[in-house]
Amino acid sequence: MAKVLVFTETTANSVKSVTLEILGKLSGQSIDVVAIGDVPEEGIKALAAHGAENIHKLKGDNLDKYSPEGYANALKGFISSGNYDYVFAGSTALAKDLFPRLSGLLDSGMASEVTNFIMEGDNFNGTRPLFAGKCLAKVTIQGPKPHFVTVRPNALGMPESPSSGAGNVQEASGSAGEIRAAIKEIIKSASEKVDLTEANIIVSGGRAMKNAENFKILNELAEVIGATVGASRAAVDSGYAPHSMQVGQTGKTVAPSLYIACGISGAIQHLAGMRTSKCIVAINTDPDAPIFTKADYGIVGDLFQIVPILTEEFKSFLG
């Protein structure tokens, strides 16, 4: 049995769901969880229900907000005292920034953004996409322990019948050390929507949207089905949407349950970024568009006619 630490981020009233996906997959190992600062009560319950033995709340000066150095230094100290074989985290914006630095401080290797893994005895065996998902490969880690792994949100799925753990809550003190890169201000996005990389449903628009204004019809559909709106590179490069909305090889790689592609032809670099979506619906006037080769349900038609009908029908279906 490997000794594993899972780093979790909290949300307003719980923990990020990717943490629970990871815990489910680690069932059978000795699992501790660490968070920086407090963990909401709901989060503690969920972590325990998914197998956490110990839940460590790491606290100290200058850890009230994220800094790459502060978090990495504090976690390095905590990890060094714990004899962990593996340290996991969800591949979120924060962990993508933090974990490489942390692994570097400990001279250890890290597998980035795996989409699946198994523990064979004490050993991690992962699968990860490379070249934006055009290829998959097995990945293992060697060299000094602990080994670091980040896991793509939504890729593992929630465990159906998780085995619970003791869920002992403990406080630990962490030292942030010298911070030379510090957050001075956070500018909130106008949208309060879940990020594309964590979204369960995505509605995406391509060049056929014709202008930024027309994204309104996608926003209306997204509103009804609780989706986040994305865009193809063609739409972003034409100025219809900001880069933060881009799905594809030079944008975000996503894996939602449902991806609705509207007026997207399906360039290789776009397909690479969304092909692992569980279910893909494509709407396009061109019956030969490559996107249809990846679609579970293809609708050959004009998005400006189809999308509003989808919105209406979803509204009455879900309403």
Write out the binding residues for other proteins, residues 149-208 only, by CB under 8 A: 179-195, 197-198, 201
Q: What is the helix (H) or strand (E) element at residue 114, kind and residue range?
A: strand 110-114
How far apart are alpha carbons 231 and 247 in whole angstroms?
6
Closest by Cα among 212, 298, 222, 215 to 256: 222
**Shortest reach from residue 13's CB to other proteins, in Å:** 17
Q: Which is nearer to other proteins, 12 or 187 (CB)?
A: 187
Burial of 193 (0-12, 13-18, 19+ CB in 10 A): middle
User: Does residue number 94 form part of the binding site for other proteins (CB under 8 A)?
Assistant: yes
Residue 55: strand pairing partners: 33, 169
Q: Which is nearer to other proteins, 8 or 197 (CB)?
A: 197
Q: Which is nearer to other proteins, 49 or 225 (CB)?
A: 225
The number of beta carbons lying within 10 Å of the beta carbon of residue 46 is: 21
β-bridge pairing 201-205 and 228-231: parallel
Interface positions, 6-35, toward other proteins (CB under 8 A): none
User: Does residue number 118 form part of the binding site for other proteins (CB under 8 A)?
Assistant: no
Identity of the amino acid at 279: C
Instruction: Report CA torsion sign: 130, 99, 204, 314.
Output: positive
Q: Could you tell me which stretch among 28-36, 41-49, 204-212, 310-318 binds other proteins (CB under 8 A)? A: 310-318
Among residues 40, 162, 290, 301, the one that binds other proteins under rule CB under 8 A: 301
Among residues 3, 45, 101, 210, the one that binds other proteins under rule CB under 8 A: 101
Q: Which is nearer to other proteins, 29 or 150 (CB)?
A: 150
Q: Which is nearer to other proteins, 135 or 158 (CB)?
A: 135
> Is-contact 94 66, C-beta < 8 A?
yes
For other proteins, what does the binding mask look like between residues 205 and 244, x meaning CB under 8 A?
--------------------x----------------xxx
What secondary structure letter does DSSP report for 134?
A: T
Interface positions, 251-280, toward other proteins (CB under 8 A): 251, 253, 257-258, 267-269, 275-276, 278-280
Distances (CA, A) of 62 to 27, 67, 111, 190, 256: 34, 9, 28, 28, 35
**Shortest reach from residue 185's CB to other proteins, in Å:** 4
In terms of residues, how long is the chain?
319
How far apart are alpha carbons 149 and 55 in whole angstroms?
19
Backbone angles phi, psi at 212, to 5 degrees: -65, -40
User: Cis peptide before 146, with omega less than 30 degrees from 0?
Assistant: yes
User: Does residue number 140 form part of the binding site for other proteins (CB under 8 A)?
Assistant: yes
Among residues 19, 92, 232, 265, the one that binds other proteins under rule CB under 8 A: 92
Among residues 48, 52, 132, 234, the one that binds other proteins under rule CB under 8 A: 132
Q: Which is nearer to other proteins, 71 or 214 (CB)?
A: 71
Q: Which is nearer to other proteins, 166 or 182 (CB)?
A: 182
